[in-house]
Chains A and B, each alone.
Chain A
């Protein structure tokens, strides 16, 4: 049988059709899987995959290069209570919600504030921590400025791209200029160098920075913005997961464990010698 051109084209067409059908089959398989709750998937796999992003002191790398922090304690207790192993998946903050939605991990436990915009894409549990945002300002540049004085075009804010402070700054100070950076460290450095008047971060980072550099920066106002609370984020359409996470958080509030861990990481500094700061 000679291999004619017609035969080759027919084979190619068949291969293309099969190739295009395969993703559709995989899509169906995934749709079936997502009909079952994530709790069932976790039980079956025997491991809970938690997405997080490095964010002092929620989670950070200590001197050994291991992950430590408030989120790590929460994640380990959650896994222990579920009777499964725990796997932490460090992810870039910009892509953490798309990664959750596309199934790279089961839940985000990374100090994610509850906002309506995010809630359109993912579900949130009840809050398990409340830390507001405060302003960290360059003392020399913002001498004698009241809160309303920050809302002028000459005033420059620096913030981390994709984090809630950026949105809050845009809402509260629409006239001011906003510079966006990929990390908190970069935006804080801008304020330290005097290239930006102020930045906004979740407590306790501003207080820690003000303690480290008292001559240059300070926290000018006591009021906290947007203390809506941080919660677990998980995929939509999962009532079992909602019920489980909410009850787990409620139980651990009532028995004091969450408050004790929160005070250890956020109010105290005993962990400071494990990390270079």
Chain B
């Protein structure tokens, strides 16, 4: 049992708060003095939600469309990265030399190249081949031409942008799977050897051992770094704005180019990303405490 002592503010706390307040005030004065900028905050809410006179209902405008796309991209690429990363983590601990070496090569290549470079290389060289080979463009366009595409639009947004969305999701998942692979490998290797030997001794095959003994414990153990990686993926999704995927960062760039509201637009986008990532971090903390309580 923990007693909560009444937290009383010491005089030192007041001093620190006063210094911080003065610091912020000084910075604010300097910024408004030297920054020759006409603030237009009243125009921003229109770009999040727009009230249409003719149809009489609310429409999602640029920033909200971008946010929804970012959420879609984050979910799809993190599922894909989790699958790929788990396979990679298992491959890294395999007894077969070829598999181990292949996994190590994949990991080191993707981990040691900056994400922007990976995105450009993948987009201009590989994704075009993939899209041409699968004939994705005409398929996506034929779907976009149909009449009731509400379900498709809910999951994938504008279907005509589907190939570039898929490129973005795949490259992001490939890049993140390298990190997830390392995390999963650490989790697997942290399971005591005694348990694996015991599993073998009662006659479990390798797949049974992985499925029933090792993976449940390993994944539960690495949930904190995995949740960290997920949040990092949401932020890394802003990189694929460079290949013109219509997510939040790209929409903000377009908004700034159209209306010159640089600071309002970027501050609003920062707030939207913060709300998204902080919400996720609270969710994951909840998951961890649930786990700890259950044990």
Q: Given A65-B61, A189-B262, A276-B43, A183 and B256 touching (CB < 8 A)? A: yes
Whether, in the assembled complex, A10 has its beta carbon less than 8 Å from a beta carbon of chain B, the answer is no
| 8 Å CB interface, B233-275 against A | 241-244, 246, 250, 253-262
Q: In whole angstroms, what is the CA distance A94 to B253 when docked?
A: 13
Q: Mark A260-277, 1 if CB is under 8 A from B, else 0.
A: 000000000000000111
Q: In whole angstroms, what is the CA distance A193 to B37 when docked?
A: 8
Q: In whole angstroms, what is the CA distance A220 to B12 when docked?
A: 56
Q: Given A23-B129, A61-B254, A90 and B260 touching (CB < 8 A)? A: no
B-side contacts of A94, CB under 8 Å: 242
Q: In whole angstroms, what is the CA distance A194 to B61 when docked?
A: 34
Return the contact of A95 from the options B37, B138, B242, B261 (Cβ within 8 A).
B242
Name A215's closest neighbour in chain B (CB-CB): B36
Interface residue count for B (Cβ, 8 Å)?
42
Whether, in the assembled complex, A185 has its beta carbon less than 8 Å from a beta carbon of chain B, the answer is yes
User: Are A192's CB and B36's CB within 8 A?
Assistant: yes
Residue from the set A45, A103, A185 with the largest chain B CB neighbour count within 10 Å = A185
A-B contact count (CB 8 A): 108
Q: Given A183-B257, A275-B258, A22 and B160 touching (CB < 8 A)? A: no
Q: In whole angstroms, what is the CA distance A103 to B37 when docked?
A: 41
| 8 Å CB interface, B165-193 against A | none
Return the contact of B62 from the options A27, A61, A104 (Cβ within 8 A).
A61
Q: In whole angstroms, what is the CA distance A219 to B18 when docked?
A: 46
| 8 Å CB interface, A99-116 against B | 99, 102-104
Whether, in the assembled complex, B197 has its beta carbon less than 8 Å from a beta carbon of chain A, the answer is no
User: Are B35's CB and A193's CB within 8 A?
Assistant: yes
Whether, in the assembled complex, B200 has its beta carbon less than 8 Å from a beta carbon of chain A, the answer is no
Whether, in the assembled complex, A47 has its beta carbon less than 8 Å from a beta carbon of chain B, the answer is yes
Return the contact of A276 from the options B40, B132, B257 (Cβ within 8 A).
B40
User: Are B36's CB and A64's CB within 8 A?
Assistant: no
Shortest CB–CB separation between residue B106 and chain A, in angstroms?
14
User: Are A30's CB and B132's CB within 8 A?
Assistant: yes
Q: In whole angstroms, what is the CA distance A213 to B35 when docked?
A: 13
User: Are B259's CB and A277's CB within 8 A?
Assistant: yes
B-side contacts of A213, CB under 8 Å: 36
Q: Given A185-B262, A277-B259, A54 and B254 touching (CB < 8 A)? A: yes
Whether, in the assembled complex, B141 has its beta carbon less than 8 Å from a beta carbon of chain A, the answer is yes
User: Are B259's CB and A90's CB within 8 A?
Assistant: no
| 8 Å CB interface, B77-101 against A | 98
Q: In whole angstroms, what is the CA distance A178 to B247 when docked?
A: 31
User: Are A90's CB and B258's CB within 8 A?
Assistant: no
A-side contacts of B120, CB under 8 Å: 95
Q: In whole angstroms, what is the CA distance A277 to B61 when docked?
A: 17
| 8 Å CB interface, A25-74 against B | 25-27, 29-30, 45, 47, 53-56, 60-65
Whether, in the assembled complex, A15 has its beta carbon less than 8 Å from a beta carbon of chain B, the answer is no
| 8 Å CB interface, B29-72 against A | 34-37, 40, 43, 46-47, 50, 52, 59, 61-62, 65
B-side contacts of A192, CB under 8 Å: 36-37
Whether, in the assembled complex, A92 has its beta carbon less than 8 Å from a beta carbon of chain B, the answer is yes
Q: In whole angstroms, what is the CA distance A47 to B242 when docked?
A: 25
Q: In whole angstroms, what is the CA distance A61 to B35 when docked?
A: 26
Whether, in the assembled complex, A255 has its beta carbon less than 8 Å from a beta carbon of chain B, the answer is no
Whether, in the assembled complex, B133 has its beta carbon less than 8 Å from a beta carbon of chain A, the answer is yes
Name A60's closest neighbour in chain B (CB-CB): B258
- A and B contact pairs by CB, cutoff 8 A, 8 listed: A9-B98, A22-B133, A65-B62, A89-B161, A185-B262, A194-B34, A276-B259, A277-B260
Minimum-distance CB pairs A-B, first 9: A60-B258, A54-B257, A61-B258, A26-B133, A91-B244, A65-B62, A65-B61, A276-B259, A192-B36
Given contacts A30-B132, A45-B141, 20 further A-B contacts (CB under 8 A): A53-B257, A61-B254, A62-B258, A63-B46, A64-B59, A65-B61, A87-B160, A89-B161, A89-B244, A92-B243, A92-B244, A95-B243, A98-B124, A188-B260, A189-B37, A189-B262, A194-B36, A213-B36, A276-B43, A277-B259
Using a CB–CB cutoff of 8 Å, the interface residues on chain A facing chain B are: 9, 12, 22-23, 25-27, 29-30, 45, 47, 53-56, 60-65, 87, 89-92, 94-95, 98-99, 102-104, 182-186, 188-189, 192-194, 213, 216, 275-277
